[in-house]
Amino acid sequence: MDGLSPRTPSRSTNRIDRSMHDIRAIRDDSKAFDAALARRGLPPVADEILALDARRRECLTALQEAQNRRNEASRQIGAAKARGDDAGAQALIEEIATLKGRLQEAEDEARRLEDELNSRLAGLPNLPLEDVPLGEDESANQLVREVGERPRFDFAPKQHFELGEALGLMDFETAAKLSGARFVILKGALARLERALAQFMLDLQTQEHGYTEIQPPLLVRDDVMFGTGQLPKFAEDQFAATAGTHNERDRWWLIPTAEVPLTNLVRESILDEADLPIRVTAYTPCFRAEAGAAGRDTRGMIRQHQFTKVELVSITTPEQSGAELERMTGCAEEVLKRLGLAYRVMMLSTGDLGFSARKTYDIEVWLPGQDQYREISSCSVCGDFQARRMNARYRPAEGKGTRFVHTLNGSGLAVGRTLVAVLENCQNADGSITVPDVLRPYMGGLEVIGGYG
């Protein structure tokens, strides 16, 4: 069973219950909530949120009381008329008319307060787990392990774009004519090598690690991007697309990662615990505006507007998610092990965590041309943060009610960056590239790419 069989749709319409943070937990321990945000370097907000929540609840109480009075007055009209009290009946009719106006005002105010509260909560990141190292930025990330030996060369190793351009198989100039900066055209054996890497990754994850391959849409709607945390806070990092009317209501978004459609496969659903964990993977193009990347990695394939990636996503119970993070990270690492590439695993600090993550491991591959490690995968556990935004729940095998699932995502791997790593680590003095053994079956037995005397 792949865990993707028909599911019971959720009928929950309580928007506050679906907020990205548990408002009840904030009410119960506001200091703990502020303390968790402080670990991310953010100021306290619990008092502001609870004040909004209190006003909303007071408004809802007043609305319910007014509705009860209107219903009671409606019942009293008939009784007044039955006893011939026309004046009393008329007074009740006038009271109902007045209540109708007040009810509309109260409903509008309750909706406004709810929208304000949800908007405030939507801008707050996930809360880091206790074992995440405290720090302001990536300088506080902690080394978890270092694996493999860095290659040694008897010549000065070149960067991937130097190798690719010299081979005549990597063209940034023509790509810029077509699309602008941060695009590339791969040709011949390099185009096939990128495809071979993706096929190898998919085969490994589906045949040995139990992931179900998915071919998802590349265009998704606003609420799907909201579900995984890209909207509303990071809209400038995304590529929006509109239908022929160019009406915002007809807007879609090009996916920045397959995490978005894969995680949202369970949105607005109630799963059975027996179906968990769900593990899915997809090979897709990804599109990112790189709005904050001016001046960074302007040459080469490290930071592109369009790139390909094999994504891993898991949907679990809360009790499974910690172990699933370790498992997922191991599944991504196995790709590098079989390619024979040296890498290290870093635990991100609180200041370097992504918006939706509670804990993240970055896998960084060694690039001899750059003489440094560079990120090739991030594996994150998000707890119930995304599940609340998507309203994704499961029905426990024991006990009543439903619980929010936990979601995890990771690159298994970024295909373009893996191509970069293969080029730089497997280069030869003559500029040729030795094809790793595990990729040769996907390359028609080809052992070496090119060479230029």
Just list the catalytic residues. Answer: 288, 303, 375, 378, 417
CA angle 135, 140, 144 (to 5 degrees): 125
Report how far residue 37's alpha carbon sits from residue 127's, in angstroms, rounded to the nearest whole number.
Answer: 6
Token code pair at residue 412: 């298994």
Where helices occur in 229-306 by DSSP H, the ranges are: 259-263
Q: In residues, how long is the chain?
A: 453
Token code pair at residue 277: 């964990």
Strands 142-147 and 8-9: unpaired
Please enumerate in sequence order all residues whose Cβ is within 8 A of that of 394, keeping only pairs 6 or more positions apart, or say none: 270, 271, 272, 273, 275, 276, 317, 402, 403, 405
Report how far residue 75's alpha carbon sits from residue 68's, in angstroms, rounded to the nearest whole number.
Answer: 11
Residue 48 near residue 310 (C-beta atoms within 8 A): no
b/e for 58-71, b at 16 or more Cβ within 10 A? Answer: ebbeebeebeeebe
* Cα–Cα distance list, 262 to 118, 294, 410, 438 (Å): 24, 30, 11, 27
Token code pair at residue 7: 């599911």
